[in-house]
Structures are given as C-alpha cells and as structure tokens.
Amino acid sequence: MISRSTLALVSALLLWPLSARALESTFEITQTLLLDYHVDNSDLTELNDNYADIRNRLNLNLSADDLTLSMRFDTATFIRSPGSAVPPYLDRYGLEKISARYLGKSFQLSLGDFYASFGRGIALRISKVDELGQDMTLLGVKTRVQTDLVRLTALAGLSNPTNNDGVYEKTLADPYDLVTGLQTIWYLPNTTRLWLHGVGIFFDPLDLNDQSHSLPKQAFSAGAGFEAPDLLDWGNLYAEFDWLGKQFESVVSSDEQLDISHGYAVYLGWNLFLHDCSVLVEFKSYDEYDLYTWTSSDGRKHYNERIDYIRPPTLEPLEMEIANNRDVTGAKIRMDWRPGGADTLLFASFAGFVAGDMSAGDRGIYHVRLGAEQNFLRRGRAKLAVGVREEQPDYAGAEYRGLFYVKSSLKIPLGMRHGLDIHGFNWWADHHNALSDAKYLKGEWTLGYSWAPLLGLAVILGYDTELSGSRSLETFYTTQDGKELRQVFLAGSLNINLLNSGLVFRVLAGHIRGGIKCVAGGCRFIPPFSGVRVEAVIRL
C-alpha cells in the first residue's frame, strides 16, 4: 500500500507544472527502457541462463529556484525465467529515490532519499557504485547550515537500496537500518579545512530484517580530518583519523550482555609539486575497520546482498580486485615527470603493505608500477603501464599470490569528429600453496570507433582461465565436471546518440567476461553475460 506521504509527493510532481508556470522552473523526464535476453553463459550453472526480461526506469525531476522534487518509477517484468532459481526472478513495480530538496546558499534541506559521505568515505559513504551495480540511499532527512567560517551537516535515515538488483536482476528487500550522522567543518585561512564527525548506525532496530548473517546491534564511529589544498603554493596535505566501535549480542552469556569490538583507520595523503615533477605520498593503517549490512532474504524470496557503509581509500588501482581493505597498513609513493611540461609523461609508483589474513596470519605485499603517457596530434594519446604485485604469507605452505600485468590504451584521432580507441589489460597470475599450484590468464581488450557525438562501435575480447586454474587457453571453452566452462568472450556494442543526447540507443550482443569487482575493499562477483541487451534512453 502506498503511504500518504508518497501520494502527496507524487501529486506535487504531477501538478507543479500547472501551478508554477510563473516561476523559473524546469521539468525533466528521463525514460530508460532495458530489454535483456540471456542465453547459456557457460558458468557451470543453469540458474541464470535462457531467460528474458524488460526493465524500465522513469525519472521525474522538477526544479524551481532553489527547490527540487524528484522520483523514479522502476519496473521489472520477466518474460521467461528459470523456475528453479533461488531466490526466484520476481516481477516488480515500485517507486524509488523519492526526494524533495531545498538548496539555498546558507541552508540546505533534503527530505526523502539522499546520498551521504563524510571525509573520503572512511567514516561513511552512502552512494551509487556503478562498478558493483549498487545504488543505496538513506530515506530520511539531511540538513546543512553554512556560513563563511563553518558548515554543519546532520542526517538521519533508513538504509534504502534500490530494490531491483542491477547485476543478478533479483529483488532486494531493505535492511531497515537506522543511520545517523553529524559533521562540523571549520574553514581556516588559505582554504584550509578542519572537521569533526560522528556516525551512529542501529541495525534493524524494529526487528524487520529476516536474514541469517550476524550483524552488530549498533555501531558508532568518530573522527577528525584536516585538509590544506594550497600548502605554501607547492603542495597539499590531507589527514583523517576515525575510530569504530561495534556492539554484538553476547554468544557466551544468556543475559543481554554485549560483546564490543574496536577498530581504527588512519589515512594521510601528501602531494608535492616541483616544476616538471610531482610526488604523491599516501599512508593508510586500518585495523579491524569494516562496517556493512545485509539485505533481508525474507524467506529466500529475495536476494541477500552485502552493502558496505564505509569505503576507505585502497591506494591501489580498482582493477587489482583488492578485497582486504579492513586490516592493512602500508604506504604508496608515486612520482610523475613531464619533461619541460611537454606531451610526454613518465610515472613510477611503489606500494608496500602488511595485511591481516585470517587463514595465514599477516601477509607482506608489494606493488611496483611503471608507465608512460604520450600525447600526439592534439587529441591523440598513448598510455602504457606495467606492474608486478606479490603477496607473501608469513609462514611456509600458505598461499602465495603473484601477478604481472600490462595495461594500455591508445586514442587515435581521425579528423575532427572521428577516432579509434584501443584499450585493455592482461594478467599473468600465479597462486600456489603446499597443496596446489594455479597459473592463469585474465584480460579484456576493446577496439572502438567513434563518430562524435552520433555513433560509437566497439568489439570486446575477453578471456579468463581463473576458474579452471590453468594457463591453457582453449578456443572458447574448457571442460570442468563434465560441463563447458567458457574462457574466451567476444561481444560487440553499438551506441547511437541523437538530438543532443535527447535520444540514445545502446545495443550489446555476445559474451562479456564476468569476475570479481572491488571498490575500496567492497567486492562483488559479477556473473558473465551472454545474450543481447538493448537500451533506449529518452530525455525531455
């Protein structure tokens, strides 16, 4: 049943264009239609094959002066789906991301759905993470008061993920966690900032979350930060410290005692500019610093998904698939040199860490990366990076992880509006311990042509032998447990952009490599895609 507040907001969105013509107002409509047809993706399971669905997102955004109202209506209709899939594929029709915002110069107020971030995501980050296919907001109220010297932000709301998962296409139920936060920022001379913040999260206080994962009863964090963007005209400095406390129900006592765990996070970043050179130094130390929730499984009818409340910096590239960002200490130094300020850039970086590993004690990690970038023909650019990364366990027989990789890109202009784009990466990985030895290849390369801004074409070639644990790359498949496991992926894409992005068509057909995706330590397995996807976007 739709609540009275929802009906009131929807009515306001529909009636405002008739009542606010005298105001400086805009009414924007974005209609996104997605049609997917999935064939067998050869990932050793039949529960995500041979089905079709139609998804639709209707975004309405109405703004007048400093006031904005917005909402989204999502639908998911399955034409055919595997009946034995658990959880099942369910049709869904519902409202998402309803908000009303007043954005004045000295006062701002958000009601409904909003994003939130304190510091660099170390204390709190509620945001959309496209790489993981997640979009969570807080449903409540956020207010901000600002003067020339201070800015105060306060927020409170229930965690509200988008209820149609964009990766597995399953329905999500809400975690029902209450998130509160307060931050004060002081503006000092020379654009320097100093801030304090605190966050309190109460996990499922109304006892509505039907899931089996062990979550805290409540969690609290407090921290401080400092940023000097213009440090004596030759550099900048960033520093942040946060403490985290979590309270769990006691598992050894029959009364209502709580077990308390503590963690902390320290992050320092320093940029130094010296003529044609720049040096970036970063340090992090995270100890038992992890805070996340699980969506409700609701009797196995909904997909159970982990969603992180904090996403601190990793100091390593996103494509490294770094999962441990909660118990690790180390630093990175990167040097960039552009001789004479010309079109050539040379860069080198070194990172070293000690990371906790539940199965193997501490692990020593180092990561060396070298590369060059060259600009040419005004709009052309070539970039090449090579790197070595190793994880060494602290006792014999534990798993060793080694990686050598190449990442490159090449943009070739062909006249004023035409161009070619070639980019991709290749991994040579080695994982071994006392019982097993696995060497595998992983990579993805894209060849694209663009006729700006009207047309884009691309061919995507991917390969991955990690699941088979072998460097042997078959033509398309290898056999495992009597089933075909796809190792080579080939797809094509077409983008058509008309009416100044008012009408956009996208078509993807073929096979796309899946795998682990990690953002700031939050990781998710993305299944391979095989089939056809058609997307149409209309903006009015």
* 123, 203, 214 from 217: Cα distances, Å: 18, 5, 9
Dist. CA 289–CA 203, nearest whole Å:
17
Residues 6 or more apart whose Cβ sits within 8 Å of residue 126: 115, 116, 117, 136, 137, 138, 159, 179, 309
Amino acid of residue 459: V
pLDDT in tens, 297-310: 776 788 888 899 99
Question: Which of 279-283, 357-361, 371-375 shows the lowest mean pLDDT across its residues?
Answer: 357-361
Assign 225 a pLDDT band (cuts: 50, 70, 90): very high
Dist. CA 224–CA 243, nearest whole Å:
9
- Give the CA dihedral 119, 125, 128, 132, nearest 10 degrees: 110
Kindly state the average pLDDT of the residues 61-77. 94
pLDDT for res 479: 66
User: Is residue 10 pLDDT above 60, yes or no?
Assistant: no
Which of 121, 118, 72, 69 lies closest to 95, judged by CA? 72
Q: Which of 288-297, 310-319, 500-509 has the largest mean confidence?
A: 500-509
Q: Which residue has the higher pLDDT, 71 or 521?
A: 71
Which of 45, 55, 54, 39 lies closest to 84, judged by CA? 45
Assign 8 a pLDDT band (cuts: 50, 70, 90): very low
The single residue listed with the structure tokens 């239609």 is 33
Mode of pairing for the β-strands spanning 529-539 and 477-480: unpaired
**Tally of CA atoms within 13 A in the half-sphere of 498 that contains its CB:** 8
User: Is residue 258 pLDDT above 70, yes or no?
Assistant: no
268: its two tokens: 């320092």
User: Is residue 4 pLDDT above 50, yes or no?
Assistant: no
Contact 354, 343 (CB under 8 A): no
User: Is residue 265 pLDDT above 90, yes or no?
Assistant: yes
pLDDT for res 256: 57
| Residue 361, Ramachandran bin (φ over 0: left; ψ between -120 and 50: alpha; else beta) | left
Contact 304, 292 (CB under 8 A): no
Dist. CA 36–CA 423, nearest whole Å:
26
pLDDT for res 503: 96
Dist. CA 83–CA 47, nearest whole Å:
8
DSSP state string for 111-139? EEEE-EEETTTTSEEE-EEGGGTEEEEEE
User: Is residue 18 pLDDT above 50, yes or no?
Assistant: no
Contact 154, 182 (CB under 8 A): yes
**Omega within 30 of 0 (cis) for the link into 453:** yes
pLDDT in tens, 407-417: 999 999 998 89
What beta strand segments (E) does 250-360 contain?
Answer: 258-274, 277-287, 292-294, 306-308, 328-337, 344-357
Amino acid of residue 527: P
90: its two tokens: 């369910």
pLDDT in tens, 312-361: 988 988 778 888 888 999 999 999 999 987 899 999 999 999 998 655 56
